[in-house]
Amino acid sequence: MPDLVIGGRRQGVPRPWRAGVIAVAMLGVALVVAWFIYRRSVAYDMPGGEVHGSISQVQAAPGAPPALVFGSSSLAWLGGIPVLRTTGDAHGIGAAHGRLLAPLLTAVVEASAPSIEGTVGTSGLFGGSTHGMRLAWRWRFIDDGLIDVDRRMVAGLTRGAVASAFEQSYDDLVRVQALLDIGVPSPRTAEAEQHGITESLTIIGKQEKVSQRLWIGRTFALPGLDDGGESAIPVVTIAHPEGRIAWASVGWPTGVGVVTGINAQGIAVMVHPTRTGDVRATRSARPVAQLARAVLEQGKTLDEAIKVVESTPTLGAAVFVLVDGSTGNWVVVERTPSKAIVERNPRQPAIGDVLTTNTLASDPENDRARRLLPSVPRADRAAKLVKNPLADVLAMAAVLRDQRAIDDTPRAPGHRGVIDNGRAVHVVIIDPTSLEMWVGDPRSAGRMRAFDLRHELRREGDRPAPPADIGPDPAGDPDRASSLIAARAELRIARKALANGDHQHAAEACARARARAPALPEAIELDAFVAQALGDNTRARTAFQAWIDGGADDPKGEERARAALAR
């Protein structure tokens, strides 16, 4: 009989793999749970809603331009400008935008993609394979910053496009709304080193005949988009939202916010996106363009408009120019995610892309932009031109078409330091008192189309009675815009080739650009850098010298050019 040992254990076959299996199973469960948590965290919940009805073509009266009609909304073309007239709730307004402008949305989304994707790098061993996941995580709070009205409008935009057989992702369209706040320039553009997507200028000129009335001159560009802003054609939106103030804006397809607009009360808002150190993609705050739309929908007076901007934390940073057409008063509000500074007596009548108040001017990102962007000389030149009251709208048009340096020196077509540098996606003049507006037609060599906003917004008069259009600049080159567009498209190809080390291809693209616009400063500058990369220092020195002699329009590039010439 075997001995019994109290407290002893029966020996069994050791199974070391059992602990390993349990550990692997627990790790697998943890990964699955983490994946579902991650997917729930980065998902954008699309508000409910439906889009019904077909599009029809109608002609309101004999001789009137034909229009597309969808429900109570319509789309007509005034020359090369699509004019979208919408009514209803937020989802309905978004649906009309998506339904009627559906063919134009895809190009803007594709041009915006590098500016969104570039916010997360691809370097490292797993940088490429995990890029999509890290991008979704970085942008996970964007929809939380949108209020319900914003989300419903984007949901309508998405469903409207799908109903027109143009598939668009709700996630993509949500992110596009925050592009001006936290997007980065496409690496193919000259703005890649300057960290800015937009370029904007607002000019306030007093009217000569009536001292209390103002002219608003506005130019807005998107040179940091992958196509340089070519897809962002000017779209005039006339909106009558339910229970809110009617407004008109000039924007582009996919944009349901406002950067240039005015409401039925004569309150105008112009947005200048900027960069500051407190901007974070992971914040939950409202994008600046959506805030500007809220100003138009809610602001009956200048003080109410200021209060809307002051009381709303923003995702990005921007300068808001607010104008009251009824009194002729205007203010500048510098809004960052953490601060709002109101300047009630602006120091100069031209506002660019940098913050200027003492509180915010020293911000590191803003200081960098001030040193690297051509905004300051453009604003200084504009301020000089409107120092005295302007006789009429043609005088403001002449200011917006100016192509000279601040000392009146002529500059080459496309020089980035002049007011009209050929990069604007929309050019607008507004009389906020009479509610008259003129918008540059991209297909008519500089003609500006007129709008009667008294009728459009207030329903005054039986039919619109707009003032006369502003004709093209009689001294301008009718081929200038198309030549600059073609040349800059080649320069984007050249920059990508240069970044990839394909110097010969870059040189060929530069040659094509200079064949279309021989004096374009940025083409001469890039040609010099390509020559340097090819080891042709003689050609590089010649190009650098020609660029500087013609007026360098890239401060950082000028430093490198002068260093190369010194060597």
| Domain coordinates in residue numbering, the chain | 65-190, 195-227+263-478, 481-566
| Stated length of the chain | 567
Strands 214-221 and 199-206, bridge-based pairing? antiparallel
pLDDT tens digits for the chain (567 residues)?
455 555 555 555 566 777 778 888 888 888 888 777 777 778 899 999 999 999 999 887 777 778 999 999 999 999 999 999 999 999 999 999 999 999 999 999 999 999 999 999 887 777 788 898 999 989 999 999 999 999 999 999 999 999 999 999 999 999 999 999 999 999 999 888 777 899 999 999 999 988 789 999 999 999 999 999 999 999 999 999 999 999 999 999 999 999 999 999 999 999 999 999 999 988 899 999 999 999 999 999 999 999 999 999 999 999 999 999 999 999 999 999 999 999 999 999 999 999 998 888 888 888 888 888 888 899 999 999 999 999 999 999 999 999 999 999 999 999 999 999 999 999 999 999 999 999 999 988 889 999 999 999 999 998 899 999 999 998 888 899 999 999 999 999 999 999 999 999 999 999 999 999 999 999 999 999 999 999 999 999 999 999 999 999 988 888 888 988 887
Domain made up of 195-227+263-478: CATH architecture: 4-Layer Sandwich (3.60)
8 A C-beta contact, residue 322 and residue 269: yes
Q: What are φ and ψ of residue 365, in 5° steps?
A: -65, -40
- Sign of the Cα torsion 24, 25, 28, 34 reads negative
8 A C-beta contact, residue 333 and residue 308: no
Domains 65-190 and 195-227+263-478 equal at CATH topology level: no
Return the pLDDT at 126.
Answer: 74
Quick one: DSSP state of residue 353?
S
Q: List the one residue out of 342, 293, 284 whose CA is nearest residue 313.
A: 284
Return the pLDDT at 10.
Answer: 57
> Within 101-200, where are the H helices?
102-117, 131-138, 142-145, 148-163, 170-177, 179-182
CATH of 65-190, one of 1.10.439, 3.50.4, 3.40.1660, 1.10.287: 1.10.439
Buried b (16+ CB within 10 A) or exposed e, 269-306: bbbbbbbbeebebebebbbbbbbbbbbbbebeebeebb
**Cα separation, 12 vs 559, whole angstroms:** 79
Q: ∠80-483-272 over CA atoms, to 5°?
A: 65
8 A C-beta contact, residue 125 and residue 107: no
Q: Report in angstroms the alpha-carbon separations of 491 from 67, 349, 428.
A: 38, 34, 27
Task: Please name the fold of domain 481-566.
Answer: 1.25.40
Q: List the one residue out of 188, 216, 247, 407 whose CA is nearest residue 328.
A: 216
Return the pLDDT at 192.
Answer: 85
Residues forming beta bridges with residue 211, ordered by sequence position: none
**Cα separation, 242 vs 435, whole angstroms:** 21
Residues forming beta bridges with residue 334, ordered by sequence position: 319, 341
- Burial bucket for residue 26 (CB in 10 Å: 0-12, 13-18, 19+): exposed
Put simply, whether the predicted model's pTM sits higher than 0.85 gets the answer yes
Q: Report in angstroms the alpha-carbon separations of 63 from 60, 69, 402, 548.
A: 9, 17, 36, 53
Q: Cα torsion for 169, 170, 173, 178, to the nearest 10°?
A: -130
8 A C-beta contact, residue 294 and residue 284: no
Q: ∠420-483-500 over CA atoms, to 5°?
A: 100
**Cα separation, 371 vs 326, whole angstroms:** 37
Return the pLDDT at 251.
Answer: 98
